[in-house]
A and B are shown apart, each in its own frame.
Chain A
Amino acid sequence: MTDPTPQFRLWLTAAALLVVFPLLAPAFWVTQIASQSFILGTIALSLVLLAGYGGMVSLAQLAVAGVAGYFAAYFGVHSGASLGIPLPWGLTILVGLAAGIIFGTLVGLIAVRCQGIYMIMITLAMAVGLFYLARQNLGFFNAYNGFHGIKAPVVLGLDMRQPLPFYYLCLVCAGGLYAFVVYLGRTPFGLALQGVRDDARRMRTLGFDVERIRVMAFALAGFIAAVGGLLRLWYGGSISPGSINAGASITILIIAILGGMAKPIGAFAGALLFVLIQNFAIDFIDRERFNTMIGLILLAIILFLPNGAVGLAESIRERFRVASGPADRQPESGATPEVRPKP
């Protein structure tokens, strides 16, 4: 076990910065950059949990977030008076989360029957199928229009729609879920999941119920995605089929690749990078060519930095550590899983 002080100090400083940052920065940075990064990062975290710890790439995580959002919209207050059953916000949240977890588990039940790239295909098919269903169905999803005029609730007099409270809400959710995933990686379940990722056959012979472990992972990922979906609903104030189309699903994958799928922090690093590029790429290239730029960055990462930005940061840190001398030459505690391609 390494001396935790330098690491701990880094986290403490980072946490302090995150708490203090919105009090100094302009609203644009607090909401459009930081809060949005937390939200996208949370949804991406559900993918990183499945891919990094479980070796399963699911393109349906955004769809799961979307299901949570749609249920919360239908069972909440929105502008279209005739559709939906508005409930008190506490119940609305519960319904949204429950829907997300159930749908996430359903996705898992079907998806775990496939391996590797087949799983990518089937989860993509489910996501796009849901998009078409939402676009065609008028009675629940409100078809092409979707739901608008949705606002975050007012909790104990604190209006969550205001930039600062909403930021702290996102920070608490994202931070809490991140800590949960890291902790999960060290629990017996988490270790079993990583074992299944590394060698499912051996795990089976050791007596582990591989299917159940995988589906359980999808259920947990569903919960994480559902939280992200609710935050996203409140952030944008609306949800419509376009929010859950193939492009949106691919965006989550892009974020996970950018940050790196090996470690949970990669989800948030990727989200921050993505949001920054989206907002400031116009300084370098034609704003309309954002997709080309993201595609090129993605390609570069896939070719040269398979572990994304976090992997890059780690290799830089390694180089510094080597340069600093033998006193700091200590291996990281806890096996950090690396995403390895399936043979």
Chain B
Amino acid sequence: MKAQRVVLSAILATTVGLGAFAPSVHAQELRVGVLATLEGSLTPLGHEALRGTRLALSEVKETVAGRKITLFTAPTNATPDSAINGARRLIEQDKVEIIIGPVSGSEGLALVQFAKANPGVSFVNGTAAAPEATYRDPAANFFRFNADGVMWQAGLGTYAHNDLKYRRVASLVNDYSFGWAQMKGFSMEFCRAGGRIVDRLWTPLGTTDFSSLIARIPKNIDALYVMLVGADATNFITQYVQAGAPVPLIAGTNTVDQTVLATLTRKQLRDFIVGTPSASPVVDDWTDARYQQFVAAYRKAYPDGLPAPASAALGYYLNTKAVLSALAEVKGDLSGNQQKFRAALSKVQVEGPAGPVKLDENRQGDATIFLTTVKSGGDGKLYNSFVNATRGVTQTMGMDRSAFMKLGVPGRETVQCP
């Protein structure tokens, strides 16, 4: 009996005590959460993402309107549920008021829906690039200042057909939202220019064995459009070159991203990848003064980082800078369910490295997209070299909105020209 009374009292005391338990929040502190892929094949992008955010924060010395910004990081692994769990942890345990991120397309889609269920927190994108996050079912508290995956391919399809004279290609792409988006961006231009995509190979994120895919590459094509992210790209290029590299590549944005180029140390791999064309929101040797300033600041802050900032750094940098600008404008006032802050975010014009960025009615930013080709630098490293730039690329890629929607949501079969 005595034991039971002790146990009961303990339970009672704990229950009452729980009511009083609450983590204390410093009034002046601004709590910002960041989602980054620090596990899985997109880990290099996650590291790069954090570099981008920290660079933007260092520009304002981590303080806005007299309030110190405390950054909380939650790791994800490119899956939707990891992004949701990370965001939930940031909100519930770390009590953040703004979340920046995520890295990956499918994570972004899940996070938009999660944002709708959490109207008290503002969600600003990192570098997730699935278009549907803003044009199909947008959330009032989700903002994306970087371009989406379709936009990132602006110019590439046309260039591959008209300039490089590739007529027949096949594709090998990661099988998820971002891969589908990049495929749509490439194919809508390549097909329109008259090219033929004879076969589409899809592979899950995290593939390590590309042997069966390489075996399935059709024989009579001019080039292979490859869009693989992070470690997948490194592994593929290594195995492709070992298998004899039958045709040249056309690279999606992430395939020859610096996160991948920096890993290609072997001479045979470097010799092969030089000359590969791609399209991206970043470029490594553009002579524009403002852009060079960004590259120089990155290199100064991260001597152990990549040779030049990758798209993940740009995306996180841009979005973080937007948050800081809007916060400065409302003098750090996040009261009233963050209404003033969100209004400011919707209208703010961010001075990005490639030019000013503003949001459209779906809270999606426009962008300058670069056409690039891989070159070997004097220092022995690989770079994406400037070919040309397309300014003011919008989410509908310059098309009429209904015509663009008719092309369909990015998927495995979108925009066919077999």
Measuring CB to CB, which residues of chain A are less than 8 angstroms from any residue of chain B?
Answer: 6, 9-10, 13-14, 17, 21, 24-26, 28-29, 32, 79, 81-82, 135-136, 138, 143-146, 148-149, 151, 236-238, 240-243, 279, 282, 288, 317, 320-321, 323-324, 328
Contacts and interface: CB of A to CB of B under 8 A. Distances in A.
B15 to A, nearest CB: 6
A6 B110 contact: no
A265 B79 CA distance: 33
A144 B116 contact: no
Given A148-B114, A149-B117, A323-B3, 11 more contacts: A26-B19, A28-B92, A143-B176, A144-B176, A151-B117, A236-B81, A237-B113, A242-B79, A242-B81, A317-B3, A324-B2
Nearest to B104: A144
A144 B2 CA distance: 55
**DSSP majority for the B interface?**
helix
B6 to A, nearest CB: 8
B18 interface: yes
5 pairs of A and B residues whose beta carbons are closest in the complex: A320-B3, A242-B81, A148-B113, A242-B79, A149-B113
Nearest to B137: A79
Contacts of B403: none
Interface of B: 1-4, 7-8, 11-12, 15-16, 18-19, 22, 75, 79-82, 84, 88, 92-93, 106, 109-110, 113-114, 116-117, 137, 175-177, 204-205, 409, 411-412
Contacts of A135: 204
A145 B177 contact: yes
Q: Which of B4, B16, B412 has most chain A Cβ within 10 Å?
A: B4
A148 B110 contact: yes
A282 B94 CA distance: 11
B71 to A, nearest CB: 14
B113 A238 contact: yes
Contact of B15 (A24, A237, A328): A24
Nearest to B6: A320
Contact of A17 (B12, B82, B116): B12
**DSSP majority for the A interface?**
helix
Given A10-B8, A82-B409, A237 B114 contact: yes
Contacts of B117: 149, 151, 237
B314 to A, nearest CB: 25
Contact of B80 (A238, A282, A323): A238
Contact of B204 (A26, A32, A144, A320): A144
Nearest to A240: B80
Contacts of B92: 28, 32
B81 A26 contact: no
A61 B116 CA distance: 31
B113 A279 contact: no
Nearest to A313: B7
Q: Which of B81, B106, B113, B409 has most chain A Cβ within 10 Å?
A: B81
A237 B15 CA distance: 28
Given A242-B81, A279-B93, A144 B114 contact: no
Contacts of B18: 25-26, 29
Nearest to B79: A242
A145 B3 contact: no
5 contacts: A24-B19, A138-B412, A145-B177, A146-B80, A242-B82
Contacts of B88: 32
B260 to A, nearest CB: 21
Contacts of A29: 18
Contacts, number: 97
Nearest to A33: B18
Q: Which of A21, A144, A288, A328 has most chain B Cβ within 10 Å?
A: A144
Contacts of A9: 4
Contacts of A151: 117
B288 to A, nearest CB: 37
Contacts of B110: 145-146, 148, 238, 240
Nearest to B72: A287
Contacts of A21: 15
A26 B21 CA distance: 9
Given A17-B12, A25-B15, A238-B84, A149 B412 contact: no
Contacts of B177: 144-145
Nearest to B175: A144
Given A148-B113, A242-B82, A324 B3 contact: yes
Nearest to B136: A81
A273 B93 CA distance: 17
B116 A320 contact: no
A28 B7 CA distance: 25
Nearest to A280: B93
Contact of A148 (B3, B12, B80, B205): B80
Contacts of A145: 80, 106, 109-110, 176-177
A279 B117 CA distance: 21
A236 B106 contact: no
Q: Which of B22, B79, B205 has most chain A Cβ within 10 Å?
A: B79
Nearest to B12: A17
A323 B11 CA distance: 22
Contact of A242 (B8, B11, B80, B204): B80
B4 A24 contact: no
Q: Which of A25, A241, A242 has most chain B Cβ within 10 Å?
A: A242
A317 B8 CA distance: 13
Contacts of B81: 146, 236, 238, 240, 242-243
A57 B16 CA distance: 38
B4 A10 contact: yes
A28 to B, nearest CB: 6
Nearest to A13: B8
A82 B11 CA distance: 49
A304 to B, nearest CB: 22
B3 A321 contact: yes
A124 to B, nearest CB: 19
Q: Which of B82, B106, B205 has most chain A Cβ within 10 Å?
A: B106
A79 B11 CA distance: 42
B410 to A, nearest CB: 11
A242 B2 CA distance: 47
Q: Which of A6, A82, A238, A317 has most chain B Cβ within 10 Å?
A: A238
A151 B79 CA distance: 21
A321 B7 CA distance: 13
B2 A320 contact: yes
B96 to A, nearest CB: 14
Contacts of B137: 79, 81, 149
Contacts of B2: 320, 324
Nearest to A18: B15
